Amino acid sequence: MGGRIIGQARQPRLVLPRIGKIKVGMKNEKGYPQSVDYFIPTGKYAGLFTQAYGERPQTIQIIFPSDDAEQVCCEQYEYRTDKGELVASGDGKEFSVWNGKEYITLNTDDYPNLMKSIETRYPNKLFERTGEGWRVRLTVNFIIPLVRGVAGIWTFESNGTASTIPNVRDCFDGMLEERGFVKGVLFDLNVKYATSQKPNAKSRYPVVTLVANESEGNVLKVKKALENPIKSLENKK
């Protein structure tokens, strides 16, 4: 299955434009990252999201514009410098790697130690602290039916390999395997705080889950969501 670790990596392509991101974190008054247990919209159309859901929604309704996991629910490895610069990304077999001038495609068949070589050449703080500098990132692209007046894709990203990523990925894959499609199915995207189970640890962190919601009322939301983007695009022609 494409869009999963160990698979053919391709550049995701979406018909509708990306219009914003949904986050579960922000910077506090001192400029430090702070997690929250509600969704925060960013981008030009954040105001339309807030009109639909208010200031601190913990559940939003989404639909996927495609059945292709690489386009709408893509999991991959990423290696970044401490400044956040992307050095390489891929699915565990095929990678896009920065060579100093451009990104080139390399695979582990030709370079079996590729991931370790990148860590050695570009050591970041995560690698120095844990011995492993790669992170897994899940990128989810979707339409939000209740956000009216604009046709486009919202994006949510997560590095939560122990919670959020398997929660969202497994629900998506399960629905795709059971039905053969996810396009047009209405899902609830939820967020809530979880408490660390490590000894002497009292930290909290947001966990995002994906749940298929096909109630009668939500079916109507799907129909309107599919109609509105089409009408908006036609009006721009």
Provide the pLDDT confidence category of residue 208 given band limits of 50, 70 and 90: very high
Q: Does 144 fall in a domain?
A: yes
List Cα–Cα distances, 160 to 9, 69, 85, 208, 226, in angstroms: 21, 18, 20, 9, 30
- 113/100 same-domain check: yes
**Does pLDDT of 221 surpass 70?**
no
Same domain, 108 and 184: no
d(CA 128, CA 150): 45
The residue segments making up the domain with residue 218 are 18-74+138-236
Cα–Cα distance measured from residue 211 to residue 188, given in angstroms and rounded to the nearest whole number: 5
| Pair 172, 187 in one domain | yes
Question: What CA–CA distance (Å, rounded) separates 141 from 58?
Answer: 18
Is it the case that residue 226 has pLDDT exceeding 50?
yes
Q: CA-to-CA distance for 46 and 26, rounded, in angstroms?
A: 14
Last residue of a domain, one of 136, 152, 171: 136
> 22-81: per-residue pLDDT in tens?
999 988 888 888 899 999 999 999 999 999 999 999 999 999 999 999 999 999 999 999
Name the percent of the chain in helix, strand, coil, to the closest 5: 25, 35, 40
Nearest-Å Rg of the Cα atoms of the chain is 19
Give me the number of domains the chain comprises.
2
Residue at 49 is within a domain: yes
Each residue's pLDDT tens digit, 121-174: 999 999 989 888 999 999 999 999 899 888 899 999 999 998 999 999 999 999
The answer to the question of residue 7 being in a domain is no
Using the predicted structure, report yes or no on whether residue 2 has a pLDDT greater than 70: no
